A and B are shown apart, each in its own frame.
Chain A
């Protein structure tokens, strides 16, 4: 009798078995904004990186005869004041903007996770590292970024060439000035997780600390890291555009969305579309990424799941 009941329960459990990531996906799928965000973001990425294969106009070719043109079949988005094709420039600029966003986020994420885990796991380093985080949070980021770029621009330009040098500089400075929130969240989570029984068990059977961190701690702090990754992309894209918009980002002949917007503002009365397109794409990218972050946060929060 009892065995029959047990079997029944086990079977019931099996039929309702759901994996963690299945649950996360189900919750994420319910968040319509996040779903639309993913579609828009993937679409923008595909257009920007695959578009140049379909529309193979050189973004840097200058044609003085066709200046300030309105959209036509030859130039679907028109041309600028020295005859660059706006669509080709938008595609090339998008590649740079997205690459900056992605790489800067990666730097911030690795740095933030490293500092967060270190602070959470080692008592001695906790105080100093958190003071360092507070210190970075108290820095005026935008003025400081402008200053750093001004000061180190020429040196890097001489070392790695005008484009690669500035690209590395911008990715690097955005990365090292936006890791603080990740570090704080990761530290908080690590502090909670390292007191749990499974970590104690791992300790007591003699697992090395490094292995504990990689096998037991890191997978458990993955969800806040993923959320801050998406928000980090949005933040990096906005920062890069802001720097370019202030004229201190990439050089003029090197299109990014922010740079195109900055160059377009001087011709706003002649060709307003030069302002609209880059701005629209920055806004759409950031909006979609923010929605993805929102959806991920809900999906990865067990308290929200099943509602």
Chain B
């Protein structure tokens, strides 16, 4: 098992390095100039100074190296210091990548906005899974019943209709017509009383449910297929002939085995739901990471864009690794490939 995990890790590291270089290079080789948006009256010498102050004076590979160091060494150290209140080395002079727009460290901006995204994305994923698993089980167990037919159709619709349409329709119905839920996510709301909690709850319903339904549509299809694959296998017949009741056969024997591929799919899907959150956050004006990315892109704030894009890539590689390891733990046959 240790060798299996080590092998996966050894594949992940070069992947990450190449991806980080690709992201860095795309942004660096792009023809746009960061000083291009400044007024025409700014003289060339001043432009050059601005470029130098933005850290653009050095060669590309030097800047790439510095960027890597701050991302993999400096920022983790900063997070350690903040969370344990200790000082490691020369923390005041540690190199940090600053946003061009706000002149504050990019990682601080990310830390500030991550909770909103994690709440919305995390909750929607949990709800999506909680909906998908029972639906998938019933659909597969009662294959071709009306529940299965309706479920398959709803899943197909839910999976085909993009979240930016379902979200807007939800706003139209629940905010504009019925006026039950707030249209825009109030980002200044602090939960310190019961009334505020209700408000927070109400404003989270739509973004969470829109993402959750989309997730559930996809996952229930996988769940159904996975249970169907298992239902006709020999061990199910064995369990039945031992005299176990249907409930135990389905929920203990079949479910445990058919959850293996679904769990890995759930792990693989986590980074992609962050990508989906970019759109959801834009619809409901949630001030999360997705919105930060859009603002940074619109403002041509290259360091923020680089760091966020790399963060998304990092999550994909990380969860690929987690899915591989999980699969290895859950299904011992995989380890000996």
Task: Mark A residues whose CB is within 8 Å of B.
Answer: 33, 134-135, 138-144, 146-148, 150-152, 154-155, 234, 238, 241-242, 245-248, 258, 261, 264-265, 268-269, 272, 275-276, 279-280, 282-283, 286-287, 290-291, 294
Contacts and interface: CB of A to CB of B under 8 A. Distances in A.
Nearest to A237: B162
B160 A143 contact: no
A283 B300 CA distance: 32
Given A139-B313, A151-B31, A287 B275 contact: no
A151 B169 contact: no
B230 interface: no
B165 A140 contact: no
B106 interface: no
B312 interface: yes
A272 B305 contact: no
Contacts of A258: 164
Given A147-B23, A150-B298, 15 more contacts: A138-B317, A140-B309, A140-B316, A143-B309, A146-B294, A150-B300, A154-B32, A241-B162, A245-B279, A258-B164, A276-B169, A279-B164, A282-B162, A282-B165, A287-B161
29 contacts: A135-B18, A138-B19, A138-B317, A140-B271, A140-B315, A142-B278, A143-B278, A144-B23, A147-B26, A151-B27, A151-B31, A151-B32, A152-B30, A154-B31, A238-B162, A241-B162, A245-B282, A247-B294, A247-B298, A248-B297, A268-B168, A269-B176, A272-B172, A276-B169, A283-B161, A283-B165, A286-B160, A286-B161, A287-B156
A242 B279 CA distance: 7
A135 B15 contact: yes
A141 B153 CA distance: 28
Contacts of A286: 160-162
B334 interface: no
Interface string B151-170: 00100110111101100110
A144 B310 CA distance: 10
Contacts of B316: 138-140
A289 to B, nearest CB: 8
Contact of A139 (B19, B156, B297): B19
B165 A261 contact: yes
A152 B271 CA distance: 26
A239 B31 CA distance: 24
A150 B301 CA distance: 11
B168 A265 contact: yes
B309 A287 contact: no
A246 B278 contact: yes
Nearest to A234: B160
Q: B interface, by DSSP: helix, strand, loop or mixed? A: helix
A147 B309 contact: yes
Interface residues of B, number: 44
Q: A interface, by DSSP: helix, strand, loop or mixed? A: helix
B19 A141 contact: no
**Across chains A and B, which 9 residue pairs bring their CB atoms closest together, nearest first?**
A151-B30, A140-B312, A279-B165, A287-B160, A283-B161, A286-B160, A142-B275, A143-B309, A245-B164
A151 B26 contact: yes
Contacts of A287: 156-157, 160-161
Nearest to A134: B15
Central interface residue in A140, A152, A238, by most chain B CB within 10 Å:
A140
Contacts of A146: 293-294, 297
A287 B300 CA distance: 35
Contact of A275 (B15, B26, B168): B168
A246 B294 contact: yes
A125 to B, nearest CB: 18
Nearest to B311: A140
A148 B32 CA distance: 11
B164 A140 contact: no
A152 B29 CA distance: 10
Contacts of B216: none
A159 to B, nearest CB: 11
B181 interface: no
Contact of A283 (B19, B160, B294): B160
